[in-house]
Amino acid sequence: METNIHYPTNNSLVWDCMKTIDRLLKKLKASGVDIKPRSYRKQAKKNHFKINNTKGKEKREEEFKKQLKLFRSSINQAERAFTATLPATFDEWIEAQVVIKEPLLPKAEKVYDITWRHEILGESVPNKEKIFSIFEDHTDIIVKGSREVEFGHKVSVAGGRSNLILDCRVLDDNPADTAIYGDVIDRINENYGTVPRDVVTDGVYASTDNARIA
Protein backbone atom coordinates (compact mmCIF):
# COMPACT_ATOMS: atom_id res chain seq x y z
CA MET A 1 0.00 0.00 0.00
CA GLU A 2 1.58 3.26 -1.15
CA THR A 3 1.93 6.30 1.08
CA ASN A 4 0.53 9.54 -0.31
CA ILE A 5 3.86 11.33 -0.80
CA HIS A 6 5.77 12.83 -3.71
CA TYR A 7 8.85 10.94 -4.91
CA PRO A 8 11.49 11.73 -2.27
CA THR A 9 14.87 13.17 -3.18
CA ASN A 10 17.37 15.00 -0.97
CA ASN A 11 16.53 18.19 -2.86
CA SER A 12 12.75 17.87 -2.40
CA LEU A 13 13.05 16.97 1.30
CA VAL A 14 15.24 20.00 2.03
CA TRP A 15 12.71 22.21 0.23
CA ASP A 16 9.81 20.62 2.17
CA CYS A 17 11.56 21.41 5.46
CA MET A 18 12.40 25.00 4.53
CA LYS A 19 8.95 26.00 3.29
CA THR A 20 7.32 24.35 6.34
CA ILE A 21 9.64 26.16 8.77
CA ASP A 22 8.95 29.43 6.93
CA ARG A 23 5.18 28.92 7.17
CA LEU A 24 5.26 28.06 10.88
CA LEU A 25 7.56 30.97 11.82
CA LYS A 26 5.12 33.34 10.12
CA LYS A 27 2.35 31.73 12.16
CA LEU A 28 4.33 32.27 15.37
CA LYS A 29 4.87 35.93 14.50
CA ALA A 30 1.17 36.37 13.70
CA SER A 31 0.29 34.91 17.10
CA GLY A 32 2.22 37.71 18.81
CA VAL A 33 5.63 36.15 19.42
CA ASP A 34 8.34 38.83 19.38
CA ILE A 35 10.34 37.55 16.40
CA LYS A 36 11.36 38.99 13.04
CA PRO A 37 11.82 35.89 10.91
CA ARG A 38 13.80 36.21 7.72
CA SER A 39 12.19 34.34 4.86
CA TYR A 40 14.54 32.14 2.82
CA ARG A 41 11.66 30.67 0.85
CA LYS A 42 12.10 32.64 -2.39
CA GLN A 43 15.83 31.93 -2.74
CA ALA A 44 15.40 28.33 -1.55
CA LYS A 45 12.77 27.75 -4.23
CA LYS A 46 15.15 29.07 -6.91
CA ASN A 47 17.91 26.79 -5.59
CA HIS A 48 15.50 23.86 -5.57
CA PHE A 49 14.67 24.25 -9.26
CA LYS A 50 18.31 24.93 -10.16
CA ILE A 51 19.45 21.70 -8.49
CA ASN A 52 16.74 19.78 -10.35
CA ASN A 53 18.05 21.10 -13.66
CA THR A 54 21.78 20.74 -12.95
CA LYS A 55 23.38 17.54 -14.25
CA GLY A 56 27.11 17.73 -13.48
CA LYS A 57 28.18 16.32 -10.11
CA GLU A 58 30.49 19.23 -9.22
CA LYS A 59 27.92 21.85 -10.23
CA ARG A 60 25.18 20.05 -8.26
CA GLU A 61 27.47 19.91 -5.23
CA GLU A 62 28.00 23.69 -5.39
CA GLU A 63 24.25 24.30 -5.64
CA PHE A 64 23.59 21.94 -2.72
CA LYS A 65 26.15 23.82 -0.61
CA LYS A 66 24.26 27.06 -1.24
CA GLN A 67 20.93 25.42 -0.38
CA LEU A 68 22.26 23.72 2.74
CA LYS A 69 23.69 27.04 3.96
CA LEU A 70 20.21 28.54 3.73
CA PHE A 71 18.74 25.40 5.29
CA ARG A 72 21.06 25.68 8.31
CA SER A 73 20.07 29.35 8.73
CA SER A 74 16.42 28.31 8.55
CA ILE A 75 16.86 25.63 11.24
CA ASN A 76 18.83 27.99 13.51
CA GLN A 77 16.16 30.65 13.13
CA ALA A 78 13.45 28.18 14.16
CA GLU A 79 15.45 27.15 17.23
CA ARG A 80 15.91 30.79 18.30
CA ALA A 81 12.16 31.35 18.11
CA PHE A 82 11.74 29.34 21.33
CA THR A 83 13.64 31.97 23.36
CA ALA A 84 11.45 34.86 22.16
CA THR A 85 8.91 36.71 24.30
CA LEU A 86 5.64 34.82 24.56
CA PRO A 87 2.42 36.24 23.08
CA ALA A 88 -0.62 37.35 25.02
CA THR A 89 -2.73 34.57 23.51
CA PHE A 90 -1.44 31.03 23.38
CA ASP A 91 -3.57 29.00 20.93
CA GLU A 92 -1.64 29.62 17.70
CA TRP A 93 1.67 29.84 19.57
CA ILE A 94 1.18 26.38 21.10
CA GLU A 95 0.19 24.85 17.77
CA ALA A 96 3.14 26.30 15.82
CA GLN A 97 5.68 25.68 18.58
CA VAL A 98 4.66 22.07 19.09
CA VAL A 99 4.89 21.35 15.35
CA ILE A 100 8.31 23.03 15.03
CA LYS A 101 9.94 21.72 18.19
CA GLU A 102 8.73 18.13 18.34
CA PRO A 103 8.22 16.60 14.88
CA LEU A 104 9.81 19.14 12.51
CA LEU A 105 13.22 20.18 13.84
CA PRO A 106 14.50 16.63 14.48
CA LYS A 107 13.40 15.66 10.95
CA ALA A 108 14.99 18.80 9.48
CA GLU A 109 18.28 17.97 11.20
CA LYS A 110 18.09 14.43 9.84
CA VAL A 111 17.36 15.63 6.29
CA TYR A 112 20.28 18.09 6.55
CA ASP A 113 22.64 15.34 7.74
CA ILE A 114 21.58 12.84 5.06
CA THR A 115 21.80 15.44 2.28
CA TRP A 116 25.24 16.66 3.38
CA ARG A 117 26.58 13.12 3.62
CA HIS A 118 25.22 12.04 0.24
CA GLU A 119 25.46 15.17 -1.92
CA ILE A 120 28.61 16.80 -0.49
CA LEU A 121 30.64 13.93 0.96
CA GLY A 122 29.52 11.40 -1.65
CA GLU A 123 28.56 8.87 1.01
CA SER A 124 26.09 6.08 0.30
CA VAL A 125 23.47 6.45 3.06
CA PRO A 126 21.73 3.16 4.04
CA ASN A 127 17.97 3.13 3.46
CA LYS A 128 17.31 2.40 7.15
CA GLU A 129 18.87 5.77 8.06
CA LYS A 130 16.89 7.76 5.48
CA ILE A 131 13.67 9.68 5.82
CA PHE A 132 11.34 9.64 2.81
CA SER A 133 8.81 12.27 3.87
CA ILE A 134 8.71 14.87 6.66
CA PHE A 135 4.91 14.61 6.71
CA GLU A 136 4.54 10.80 6.50
CA ASP A 137 7.79 9.86 8.24
CA HIS A 138 6.64 6.29 8.92
CA THR A 139 6.98 5.55 5.17
CA ASP A 140 9.18 2.57 4.22
CA ILE A 141 10.91 1.93 0.91
CA ILE A 142 9.63 -1.12 -0.94
CA VAL A 143 11.77 -2.44 -3.78
CA LYS A 144 9.82 -4.51 -6.30
CA GLY A 145 12.47 -6.31 -8.38
CA SER A 146 13.32 -4.38 -11.52
CA ARG A 147 10.11 -2.35 -11.33
CA GLU A 148 9.86 1.23 -10.08
CA VAL A 149 10.59 1.71 -6.38
CA GLU A 150 7.47 2.15 -4.24
CA PHE A 151 7.13 4.01 -0.95
CA GLY A 152 4.61 3.00 1.70
CA HIS A 153 4.09 -0.20 3.69
CA LYS A 154 3.92 -3.87 2.94
CA VAL A 155 0.62 -5.28 4.26
CA SER A 156 -0.05 -8.97 4.89
CA VAL A 157 -3.71 -9.99 4.53
CA ALA A 158 -5.28 -13.42 5.06
CA GLY A 159 -8.91 -14.11 4.19
CA GLY A 160 -11.28 -16.98 4.84
CA ARG A 161 -13.42 -18.89 2.34
CA SER A 162 -16.26 -16.38 2.82
CA ASN A 163 -13.82 -13.48 2.14
CA LEU A 164 -13.88 -12.47 5.82
CA ILE A 165 -10.46 -11.00 6.68
CA LEU A 166 -8.96 -13.27 9.33
CA ASP A 167 -5.61 -11.56 9.74
CA CYS A 168 -4.14 -8.20 8.68
CA ARG A 169 -0.73 -6.87 9.60
CA VAL A 170 1.12 -3.70 8.54
CA LEU A 171 4.77 -4.73 8.34
CA ASP A 172 7.85 -2.70 9.18
CA ASP A 173 10.56 -2.32 6.53
CA ASN A 174 10.40 -4.80 3.63
CA PRO A 175 10.64 -8.39 4.93
CA ALA A 176 10.73 -11.29 2.50
CA ASP A 177 7.29 -12.81 1.85
CA THR A 178 8.58 -16.25 2.81
CA ALA A 179 9.52 -14.92 6.27
CA ILE A 180 5.96 -13.93 7.29
CA TYR A 181 4.02 -17.07 6.33
CA GLY A 182 4.45 -18.93 9.63
CA ASP A 183 3.43 -15.87 11.69
CA VAL A 184 0.07 -15.71 9.88
CA ILE A 185 -0.70 -19.37 10.66
CA ASP A 186 0.32 -18.85 14.29
CA ARG A 187 -1.89 -15.77 14.74
CA ILE A 188 -4.93 -17.45 13.17
CA ASN A 189 -4.43 -20.39 15.51
CA GLU A 190 -4.06 -18.04 18.51
CA ASN A 191 -7.04 -15.83 17.65
CA TYR A 192 -9.51 -18.49 16.47
CA GLY A 193 -8.31 -21.64 18.21
CA THR A 194 -7.97 -23.57 14.96
CA VAL A 195 -5.52 -24.27 12.17
CA PRO A 196 -6.71 -23.87 8.55
CA ARG A 197 -7.30 -27.15 6.74
CA ASP A 198 -6.12 -25.70 3.44
CA VAL A 199 -4.12 -22.61 2.56
CA VAL A 200 -3.72 -20.98 -0.86
CA THR A 201 -1.02 -18.33 -1.24
CA ASP A 202 0.84 -16.41 -3.88
CA GLY A 203 3.89 -18.26 -5.18
CA VAL A 204 6.31 -15.89 -3.43
CA TYR A 205 5.40 -17.51 -0.09
CA ALA A 206 6.54 -20.95 -1.27
CA SER A 207 9.59 -22.45 0.42
CA THR A 208 10.66 -25.78 1.88
CA ASP A 209 10.63 -24.26 5.38
CA ASN A 210 7.07 -22.97 4.96
CA ALA A 211 5.88 -26.35 3.73
CA ARG A 212 7.39 -27.87 6.88
CA ILE A 213 5.77 -25.16 9.09
CA ALA A 214 2.37 -25.83 7.51
- Spell out the domain ranges in the chain: 10-129, 154-213
Q: 47 near 70, Cβ under 8 Å?
A: yes
CB 22 within 8 A of CB 16: no
Q: Which of 120, 38, 103 is nearest to 77 (CA)?
A: 38
Residue 186 to residues 33, 66, 160, 189, 192, Cα–Cα distance (Å)? 55, 54, 15, 5, 10
For residues 25, 28, 30, 33, the Cα torsion angle rounded to the nearest 10 degrees is -120
| pLDDT tens per residue, range 99-122 | 677 788 889 999 999 999 999 999
Q: Please, which pLDDT band fits residue 86 given cuts at 50, 70 and 90?
A: low
User: pLDDT tens for residues 159-171?
Assistant: 998 989 999 999 9
Amino acid 90: pLDDT = 60
Q: How many whole angstroms separate alpha carbon 10 and alpha carbon 213? A: 43
